[in-house]
Amino acid sequence: MQVEETKEFKPTIVAFCCNWCSYAGADLSGTNRLNYPANVKIIRVPCSCRVNPMFILRAFQRGADGVILCGCHPGDCHYTTGNYYARRRMTLLFSMLDFLGIEKERTRVEWVSAAEGAKFAATMNDFVATITKLGENRRLEDIRCKKQ
Amino acid sequence: MQRIGVFVCWCGSNIAATVDVQQVADELAKEPGVVYSTNYQYMCSQSGQQMIQEAIKEHHLTGIVICSCSPRMHEATFRKTAAAAGLNSYMVEIANIREQCSWIHKNKEEATEKAIILGRAAIAKVHLNAPLTAGESPVVKRALVIGGGIAGIQTALDIADAGFEVDIVEKKPTIGGKMAQIDKTFPTLDCAACILTPKMVDVAQNEKIHIYSYSEVESVKGFVGNFTATIKKKARYVKEDVCTGCGLCTEKCPMKKVPNEFNQMLDNRTAIYIPFAQAVPKVATIDPNACMMLKNGKCGVCSKVCTAGAIDYTQKDEYIEQQYGAIVVATGFNTIKLDNFDEFAYSQSPDVVTSLEFERLMNAAGPTGGTLLRPSDHTHPHTLVFVQCVGSRDISGCGKPYCSKICCMYTAKHAMLCREKYPDTEVYVFYIDVRTPGKNFDEFYRRAVEEYGVHYIKGMVGKVAPKDGKLMVQASDLLANDQLLIEADMVVLATAIEPDESARSIATMLTASMDTNDFFTEAHPKLRPVESPTAGIFLSGVCQGPKDIPETVSQASAAAAKVIGLLVKDKLTCNPCVAESNELMCNGCSACEKVCPYGAITYSDKEFRTPYRTTIMRRVASVNPAVCQGCGACTVACPSGAMDLKGFSTRQIMAEVDAICK
Ligand SMILES: Cc1cc2nc3c(=O)[nH]c(=O)nc-3n(C[C@H](O)[C@H](O)[C@H](O)COP(=O)(O)OP(=O)(O)OC[C@H]3O[C@@H](n4cnc5c(N)ncnc54)[C@H](O)[C@@H]3O)c2cc1C
Ligand code: SF4
Ligand code: SF4
Ligand code: FES
């Protein structure tokens, strides 16, 4: 496929969504035809607590410009406590990334319920706008795996 | 190497209008491992599915990727399709190019590019899929109902009717719950005892139902289809199978000044007691906090008068272990404590009563034999003030933020009954709103106003002050914009209701979730209202949220239907996407066990060979696939990378990440 040369920077964004709330919320924003940019790609996980910090590092290493993790609202996790684990793990990871000089705006945790299609779209629009402003992620990217 | 087939769906024009499906199929055909790639109008249709099945057979596909609508929509469909063609149903992955692509993007080029990337991620994942088989676990054909109010009674009767064994565990000496205390019931005004007690007798006589009264559930282990509960039968110091319920002991017991909880402490009972005449089981119970014999060995009257020889002062708590396939929570409610509502003078004057106390005062079997008398001086009240929403819809933090739902209706009932029995009374009702949604409910309330002449006043009661045997009620009339001072003889508080105080510990025991008000949460607020999110746990009655009796009974029967649906199965198929530990990598650290919300992980010592031809014993984790729900919390907690989740393995997710970021 031919990808057109454009001057405009289009960030690559990975969104991890838990199956029970956020993935359903993302589906709902589709059902309601609520727009958000095409550079957001969703990976379905059973629960936000399935997301290993390693996945996020890997995404940055492979050239992602922003990574967002979405789960059920606190107290609503399908597995009762998964999102609390996720929140604690991400707090640690994000502060380490901050220490390494990765702008903390590049990572985010959001709670989106299955009913919040509009919130999902709004969150993604906002996240993409933030990352676009920040520009390309160069610090963690492994240039050896960059396709020229 | 897998042989992968790719099937791109148009979904009519839903996908095809914004995604160039031909281009997607062509691009994905170039991916490694893809041996077949096509597109079709409706993949989920009969002919679409047939096409997939033929392709699986013809091209010997080992994995398929469907680019279509959300997996939440048709994952199950396509899994069945694959299975019918002889392909393991977990060798199917779905790229969501409708809800998460064509429906949100307008630019066809962008949408097509995204669809290709999503397809690549699914292909990368399916490369690492392994066939999975759903395990099976047996179902114990017996149900446990916790709580013996009308909710628990109805659920148990319905389950027993279908032919299954049911145990009711009730913490009080008798079943019946709050409904046994109520006088008449809205909206028909039939007496609660007349409709409840026959049901209680049905329970007692039903061979399939066993009542553990004066008992509590100590612990619950296990999972759907196979729970093990330990029930604590508290010592009642009376042999249940010997006692005939004659009541002679209660007449002769010298300890006559024990507050009677069944009458809301409005009168006294003896230390050995039967809560009320129609109690089920009709067996006496000795209150160990009041009995002289149990406290200091002096007395023993009851054992002397009991002709049946049922008294046993040496009885001990008994523990019974029993297996169940399903558990129903029916723990009901209580009225809240009024400590935060000093303005109503509840603690200062006995003539300020709660609505439940008022029920007892009106009840023919109550402390006054059904004659409405003021608790302070036993005189007939002439002016009564009812205050609605006491502690309900209160966001100040003193009460409860929710509407207790039943108070508008029972206050109308109380006011009406009062006027009917005693036409000489003046009855005032202060309300914020009158809420009467329900069959024949608004008609009922209008009758109170129009036929019975109850004075409904929109406004708040600011203060109740006892003065010279009267109650001075200061209130505002919001519609007339007026301040009122009413000299009342009695004030009745429509007190908010809250879940039983044991609800939280029961929820923890069952790993069932509850909301911030301690009401049990349903699996889905609209579509699965009687199931808890935890498999095998069902909800019945007010423990799930405020309800009146008709609603409680419908929910109770609905819960029973769900339980029956579970118990008729001989085996349950489990979700095969569960965690698994690699014993060679596990170091036995317990990190995974600590985060598992279901207690699915256990440890055992296993023998391993070393490179030096010796063997060593090591502690390793193993996951019970029937208990694991597949959340994945443990996989991240494991420091050795030993724990992985089938269907969402670390390598699979990494492959998706790589495909997206390429
Ligand atoms: C003043 C008042 C008047 C009312 N009037 C009407 C009316 O006129 N019409 C109408 O339709 N509704 C009326 N209601 C509502 C009605 O009382 C309830 O809808 C009904 O009682 C709910 O039944 P339940 O079984 O869910 O709860 P409950 O009646 O509370 O029963 C729960 C049972 O579970 C037991 N239990 C609790 N925790 C445990 C535990 N951990 N282990 C074992 N057992 C446990 C309790 O002891 C109790 O027996 C009125 C309510 C009040 C407060
Ligand atoms: S995946 Fe979740 S439920 Fe299963 S063993 Fe791990 S922590 Fe427990
Ligand atoms: S966390 Fe990992 S290493 Fe530790 S016991 Fe569990 S599986 Fe074994
Ligand atoms: S299932 Fe959504 S965060 Fe756990």
- Which member of B23, B104, B631 has the closest CB to residue A29? B104
Tens-place pLDDT, residues B368-381: 999 999 999 999 99
Residue A2 in this model has a pLDDT that exceeds 60:
no
pLDDT band at A40 (very low <50, low <70, confident <90, very high): very high
Report helix, strand or coil for B435: coil
d(CA B571, ligand 1 centre) in Å: 35
Contact in structure between B95 and B133 (CB atoms under 8 Å)? no
Contact in structure between B94 and B82 (CB atoms under 8 Å)? no
Q: What is the pLDDT of residue A146?
A: 57
Q: What is the pLDDT of residue B573?
A: 84
Beta strands in B424-560 (DSSP E): 426-431, 455-458, 461-467, 470-477, 482-488, 490-495, 497-499, 537-539
Closest-CA residue to B147 (of B292, B322, B328, B295): B328
Tens-place pLDDT, residues B408-439: 999 999 999 999 999 999 999 999 999 999 99
Q: Cβ neighbours of residue B325 under 8 Å, at least 6 residues apart?
A: B139, B140, B141, B142, B143, B224, B225, B226, B227, B536, B566, B567
Q: What is the pLDDT of residue A147?
A: 53
Residue A7 in this model has a pLDDT that exceeds 80:
no
d(CA B322, ligand 2 centre) in Å: 26
Tell me, what amino acid is at B574?
Answer: C
Lowest mean pLDDT among A128-142, B81-95, B172-186, B441-455: A128-142
What percentage of chain B carries pLDDT values higher than 90? 91
Predicted ipTM beyond 0.90: yes
Name the residue of B580, B584, B589, B593 to mutate for ligand 3: max ligand atoms within 8 A of Cβ.
B589
Tens-place pLDDT, residues B241-286: 999 999 999 999 999 999 999 999 999 999 999 999 999 999 999 9
pLDDT band at B508 (very low <50, low <70, confident <90, very high): confident
SS3 string, chain A, reads CCCCCCCCCCCCEEEEEECCCHHHHHHHHHHCCCCCCCCEEEEEECCHHHCCHHHHHHHHHCCCCEEEEEECCCCCCCCCCHHHHHHHHHHHHHHHHHHCCCCHHHEEEEECCCCCHHHHHHHHHHHHHHHHHHCCCCCCCCHHHCCC
Tens-place pLDDT, residues B288-305: 999 999 999 999 999 999
A121 touches chain B (CB under 8 A): yes
The ligand minimizing its distance to the Cα of B543 is 1
Q: What share of chain B is helix, strand, coil (3-state, %, to 5)?
A: 30, 25, 45
Task: Give the nearest ligand 1 atom to B217 CA.
Answer: 42
Q: What is the pLDDT of residue A114?
A: 85
How far is B242 from B311, CA to CA, in rounded Å? 9
Name the residue of B643, B645, B650 to mutate for ligand 3: max ligand atoms within 8 A of Cβ.
B643
- Count of A-B CB contacts under 8 Å: 141
Residue B59 in this model has a pLDDT that exceeds 60:
yes
Stretch (H or E) spanning B411 = helix B407-421
Q: How many residues can be counted in chain A?
A: 148
- Hey, how many other C-beta atoms are within 10 angstroms of the C-beta on B248? 15
- Hey, how many other C-beta atoms are within 10 angstroms of the C-beta on B640? 16
pLDDT band at A6 (very low <50, low <70, confident <90, very high): low
B116 touches chain A (CB under 8 A): yes
Domains of chain A from N-terminus onward: 13-137 (3.40.50)
Are the Cβ atoms of A27 and B629 closer than 8 angstroms? no
Q: What is the pLDDT of residue B271?
A: 97
Residue A1 in this model has a pLDDT that exceeds 60:
no
Mean pLDDT to the nearest integer, B104-127: 96
- Hey, how many other C-beta atoms are within 10 angstroms of the C-beta on B575? 17
Domains of chain B from N-terminus onward: 4-128 (3.40.50.960), 142-332+516-567 (3.50.50.60), 333-498 (3.50.50.60), 579-646 (3.30.70.3270)
Report helix, strand or coil for B470: strand
